[in-house]
Structure 1
Amino acid sequence: MRALLVVNPAATTTSARTRDVLIHALASEMKLEAVTTEYRGHARDLGRQAAESQNIDLVVALGGDGTVNEVVNGLLHAGPDPERLPRLAVVPGGSTNVFARALGLPNEPVEATGVLLDALSESRERTVGMGIAAGTPGTEDEGVPERWFTFCAGLGFDAGVVGRVEQQRERGRKSTHALYMRQALRQFLQEPHRRHGTITLERPGAEPVTDLVLSIVCNTAPWTYLGNRPVYAAPKASFDTGLDVLGLSRMSTVAVARYATQLLTSSPERGPQGKHAASLHDLDQFTLHSKVPLPLQMDGDHLGLRTSVTFTGVRRALRVIV
């Protein structure tokens, strides 16, 4: 087996020594080429090269959710073709690692590498669905390139939080759960549309859902983690179905306290509920329109402001080692 290992040297939870140990362990079981990313988008370029190659069987992403997202976008640049494309494996190295943990992998990179090697020897893999988002035809965002996401996307409030965290990280702050919580509070206090949302969700054959302040799109559950605590915005979301959406139409202090408590106590059986919460399950395609430009995030990566984004759930997009 010939494999490409894509290594993010800035991965939050792996040291240079740990990365060397992981590379040695993988190289002992396969013909391995390890490449360290050097710029934003480099992992995507490497994934694309692997997809276009005729002799790469496996691409291993060593890093956080951002590294995985780039690799996936490279592998799927010409569209899904699970039988032809290299398989994907993930060794978690970020601060949260939602995608890897949603696949059932340990959050510790050395343990995850052991699971990966066992899975390869036992030929354990699954074909998972992915989400894709693009600018909506006929709108000012029509020319925005398509982008795949592995576990979540968001337009509005949560994307604003992601943008704030990225600003802090550019100033040298370490990505921690406390940092996310602080930025979420600041986003709430400065959110201009928290009482009168600007987002409308439209889908074929159904009435639109209007006046949303927050819209979280989930491709799997949980939505995220706070330390070791899983948070379920859309408990029914799955790699085997379409996309799920949680929308909130009110973010007053009382409403935020209620829904934040529900999120913190959420479970695979129960997520946020209430008269200001809209939960939609297994959607193949839908569009989020906003009256004003709002921030967009995918897999925890802030992508700027958008007024209209069309989302599609693609079943059986990529083979993944589990």
Structure 2
Amino acid sequence: MRALLVVNPRATTTSERSRDVLVRALRSAVDLTVSYTERRGHATKLARDAAESGIDLVVTLGGDGTVNEAVNGLLTAPAALADLPGSIADRVPTLAVVPGGSTNVFARALGMPRDWADGTSVILDGLRDGRHRVIGLGRADDRYFTFTAGLGWDAATIRRVEQARQRGRTSTPALYMRSTIGQFLVGMDRKNPPMTLEWPGETPDTELGTVIVQNTAPWTYVGDRPVHLNPDASFDRGLDVTALRKLTVPSSARTVTQLAWRAGDPRGKQVLRRHDVTEFTVVASRPQAFQLDGDYLGERQKVHFVSVPCALRVIC
């Protein structure tokens, strides 16, 4: 079996020594090539080139951003785009994820251990036993995501966190909480909710302040604690949607409190939730912050979401 290991050298939870151990372990099981990412978006090219060259397995060592880029490389390779019978997962390399970031939501949602060494053992066992899982993905316009997407408050919070990290701050739950509160208090026009959810053949939902889309549960983690917006979201079903109708101080404080103390599942008249959705569009009256899998991608006024079943094989 031919495999490519895509390494983000800035992965926060691994060292050069641990990467060497990982490479030796994988080379005991597969014919391995190792490539290091050099810039944002590089993992996409590496994974796409690997798929075109006939690689059987792509392994990522990094955080959720590295995984997202690699997935988009695999799913935009010619074989994935070809109009052929069978699922997309049958036409692209299998993916394996070694946790190397600060949160690793995708890997943990798959049931992978947080420790990179334990995760490597799971991958080696899966290769030996021929064990894998086929999962669905989400697609926002022309880009795929593995676990979440969002427009509005959560995406703007991620933008604040990324700006803080560029100034040398460490990504911690406390930083996310301060950024969330700061964005709500001074970074948003809460009086004029700008977004509309358009459902095929249904009445749209209007005056929404923020929209979060899930492809699995949980939505994220705060340390060891999973945070649930739509607890029934699953890789095996369509997309789940959570929206806040109006970002008033009382309703938003109640939602944040539910997330903090109950680990999620917020409820209330200002909370809109939809489960197992195949397709919908978010339209905004003014540009909104936009994120996929925890990476800030700029501002958008319209995004079309689609659930893509049986899109990828993963070892877990």
Q: Same fold (TM over 0.5)?
A: yes
In the TM superposition, residue 18 of structure 1 has moved relative to its aligned partner by 1.1
- In the alignment, what sits opposite 2:9? 9
Kindly state the Cα deviation for residue 194 of structure 1 after the two structures are TM-superposed.
Answer: 2.1
Q: Match for 1:107 among 106, 114, 126?
A: 114
Hey, what does 1:210 align to over in structure 2?
Answer: 206
Is 1:52 matched with 2:52?
yes
Give the C-alpha shift of residue 61 in structure 1. Answer: 0.5
Between 112-121 and 218-227, report the one with greater CA deviation. 112-121
In the alignment, which of 223, 232, 238 is matched to residue 236 of structure 1? 232
Report the CA distance between 1:133 and its aligned residue.
Answer: 0.8
After TM superposition, the structure 1 stretch with the greater mean CA deviation from structure 2, 58-67 or 17-26, is: 17-26
Greater alpha carbon shift after TM alignment, 191-200 vs 152-161? 191-200
In the TM superposition, residue 266 of structure 1 has moved relative to its aligned partner by 4.3
1:131 aligned partner, one-letter code: G
TM-score normalised by structure 1 residue count: 0.93
Aligned to 1:290: 284
- Please say if 1:171 is aligned against 2:167: yes
Q: Do the aligned residues in 2 keep the contact of 1:64 with 1:97 (CA within 8 Å)?
A: yes
State the Cα distance separating 1:50 from its structure 2 match.
Answer: 1.3
Letter of the 1:297 counterpart = Q
1:190 corresponds to 2:186: yes
Counterpart mapping for 1:8-87 below 5 A:
8-54=8-54, 56-78=55-77, 79=81, 81-87=88-94
**Cα drift, residue 260 of structure 1:** 1.0
Query: Which residue is equivalent to 2:307?
Result: 313
Kindly report which structure 2 residues correspond to 1:122-141, keeping only aligned pairs within 5 A, or say none: 122-134=129-141
1:82 aligned counterpart, secondary structure: helix
The one-character-per-residue Cα deviations of 1:218-238 (angstroms, maximum 9, x if unpaired) are 000000000000000111110
Alignment match of 1:274 (pick from 261, 268, 272): 268
Q: CA deviation at 1:250?
A: 2.0
Contact 1:223 1:232 in 2 (8 A): yes
- The secondary structure found in structure 1 opposite 2:89 is coil
Task: Indicate which of 242, 247, 258 corresponds to 1:246.
Answer: 242
Q: Which runs of 5+ in 2 are unaligned?
A: 82-86
Question: What is the one-letter code of the residue matched to 2:64?
Answer: D
Tell me, what secondary structure is at the counterpart of 2:13?
A: coil
Which of 293, 297, 302 is matched with 1:303 structurally?
Answer: 297
SS at 2:118 equivalent: helix
Query: Does the residue aligned with 1:174 lie in a helix, a strand or coil?
Result: coil
Partner secondary structure for residue 90 of structure 2: coil
TM-score of the superposed pair, with normalisation by structure 2: 0.95
Aligned partners of 1:254, 1:288: CA distance in 2, in Å?
A: 25
CA contact (8 A) 1:41 1:70 kept: yes
What is the aligned length?
A: 308
Measure how far apart 1:156 and its partner are: 0.5
TM-superposed deviation, 1:123 = 1.2
Q: How many angstroms apart in 2 are the aligned matches of 1:180 and 1:265?
A: 16
CA RMSD after TM alignment: 1.2
Q: Which structure 2 residues correspond to residues 147-158 of structure 1 after superposition, within 5 A?
A: 147-158=143-154
Instruction: Kindly indicate whether the alpha-carbon contact (under 8 Å) linking 1:196 and 1:249 is maintained by their aligned counterparts in 2.
Output: no
The answer for unaligned runs of 5 or more in structure 1 is 135-145
CA separation in 2, counterparts of 1:214 and 1:191? 13
Give 3-state SS (helix, strand or coil) of 1:193's partner.
coil
d(CA) in 1 for partners of 2:315 and 2:88? 16
Aligned to 2:105: 98
Higher-helix-fraction structure: 2
SS in 2 for 1:244: strand
Deviation per CA, 1:91-119, whole angstroms, max 9, x where unpaired? Answer: 00000000000000001101110111111
Contact 1:195/1:249 (CA < 8 Å) preserved in 2? no
CA distance in 1, matches of 2:217, 2:136: 13
Offset, 1:20: 1.1
